[in-house]
Chain A
């Protein structure tokens, strides 16, 4: 009879082994990940002190200011375009080759390497338009980079609004735009904002696109007076410290890495919380 079982090993045993291996894989992935992030947080946090943050010279203050301005301007540029595109896709577009093409384009934009965005920003904004290395050039470059993210999150938020609300509004004699502005957008706002926060987080951590478009290493006056000023950005600062600056003590480097990671992860966590708390709404 046992010859009937053509498998050498009982499938139940195979299953146990396989599941054990999956656990191992899980540990192999998560442990070093947790270890290294933990180590960084530990080194960073223990190097961090108020003086280091607040010092205008050699401290993190200029980079924090610069990154803040940069990501805010990025969001300012990306939001109207991204939300507009999302409204187009979810409210106006009728399925067809054009929409297919738009989606393909957005997917590809999401996949373009960030350094290529940097090249584009250099060629288009810095050189051709003539903005030079400036806040505006950097923000526009980053805005293009985060655009697919803004569009997809905003579109998802718009799609979550029940069809019934739109029809209810239309049936009351609202025009399409009135419906969108008064019913759809206000209710999709939390989702859209979540997407914007995620985009800000992404923009805050990107280095390659700002390499040639905006970042300076040291400024006398870290607060930009106009959008045509250069700024100091945190990821660039970290990159320069790690690869170019000899005399900077390790503590400063670790602290910068820590602040950058904390900022990016913090924004992501905020976005997640916003999303989960606001998703629990009844329509």
Chain B
């Protein structure tokens, strides 16, 4: 009797622990947010939000420090948009290829191969960009004098985001009921017509979600951009900006955190960048999740 009661109590404890770890996810998100906020609040006391977001000069150690984050925001935007412009069409093409066109043996090889690419550490991409690709481009392309520029970051990021987008889009295509594919064929559509007119519309939400998650991945990527984009905190100008060095938010944190004194304005400024990054990716991921959920409902 006693033994049984002891067992009950230990079970009760275990089940409580499981519940706690279940909701730990929520707690963690809040904790991260809290720590970022706590460490960036002093920044907001010193500078107004518009100074931070719209200021065009980032030079934390000059005088009182200039903490305009616009160049960094634009830097992230350039690199990310560039990456998506490259990655999305290619990823869609690859997803369609893998889902509908590749012969079976090839599909069975391609899917894991693409997943493996996703596993390669970003520092390795940065290493390759810095040591091999960048110098090669600077040497062979007339318009580019320094092998560290925004578009190189975009290309590297595109390849890194590609697997994420491919695998989600491929799933989305794959989850479209086979009947829809077949009934389109039965109406006399070619396979390509079926893909573009029936399959893609049906998989639309999944595809959009995949692109959003790719976007999240690209914005948050750190080591690669730190190593290959040259890190000049300029305001990028027009299309030419892609061929010039640029500095992203993530790279700024990684490069400068080592220099700052704990508790200095600069330290808080870097946390503020982290806070903005967190908010941006939170929004992107939440939207993507809502869309995925809607697409699951659509298909069901």
Contacts and interface: CB of A to CB of B under 8 A. Distances in A.
A85 B24 contact: yes
B23 A127 contact: no
Contacts of A272: 112
A260 interface: yes
15 contacts: A14-B193, A19-B191, A22-B96, A25-B94, A104-B286, A111-B217, A111-B282, A112-B281, A113-B219, A115-B253, A115-B254, A123-B35, A238-B123, A242-B126, A268-B115
Interface residues of B, number: 80
The 9 closest A-B pairs by CB, nearest first: A113-B220, A88-B22, A205-B121, A84-B21, A25-B93, A15-B192, A111-B285, A105-B25, A115-B222
B130 interface: yes
A214 interface: no
B119 to A, nearest CB: 5
Given A107-B285, A111-B216, A88 B19 contact: yes
A172 interface: no
Interface stretch (A32-40, A52-60, A163-171): A32-40
Nearest to B213: A111
A214 B15 CA distance: 34
Contact of B35 (A30, A124, A178, A269): A124
**Contact count band on A:** 35 or more
Interface in B239-269: 250, 253-254, 257-258, 262
B232 interface: no
Interface in B266-295: 270-271, 274, 277-278, 281-282, 284-286, 288-289
B190 interface: yes
Interface of A: 11-12, 14-15, 18-19, 21-23, 25-26, 28-30, 32-33, 36-37, 39-40, 80-82, 84-85, 87-89, 91-93, 98, 101-120, 122-124, 127-128, 144, 147-148, 151, 175-178, 201-202, 204-208, 211-212, 235, 238-239, 242-243, 250, 253, 257, 260-261, 264-265, 268-269, 272
Interface string B44-87: 00000000000000000000000000000000000000000000
Nearest to A23: B97
Contacts of B25: 85, 102, 105-106, 109, 147-148, 151
B144 interface: no
A242 B130 CA distance: 8
A223 B132 CA distance: 33
A29 B114 CA distance: 10
Interface in B94-152: 94, 96-97, 101, 112-113, 115-117, 119-124, 126-128, 130-133
B266 to A, nearest CB: 13
Nearest to A151: B25
B124 A238 contact: yes
B300 interface: no
Interface of B: 11, 14-15, 17-26, 28-29, 31-32, 35-36, 38-39, 89-90, 93-94, 96-97, 101, 112-113, 115-117, 119-124, 126-128, 130-133, 159, 162, 189-193, 213, 216-217, 219-223, 227, 250, 253-254, 257-258, 262, 270-271, 274, 277-278, 281-282, 284-286, 288-289
Contacts of A265: 116, 119-120
B227 A147 contact: no
A205 B222 contact: no
B206 to A, nearest CB: 15
B16 to A, nearest CB: 11
Contacts of B277: 113, 115-116
Given A22-B101, A123-B271, A260-B124, A92 B18 contact: yes
Contacts of B11: 175, 177-178
A120 B258 contact: no
Given A11-B192, A22-B93, A40-B124, A116 B21 contact: no
A19 B121 contact: no
Contacts of B29: 105, 108-109
Contacts of A202: 119
B36 A36 contact: no
Nearest to A25: B93
A192 to B, nearest CB: 14
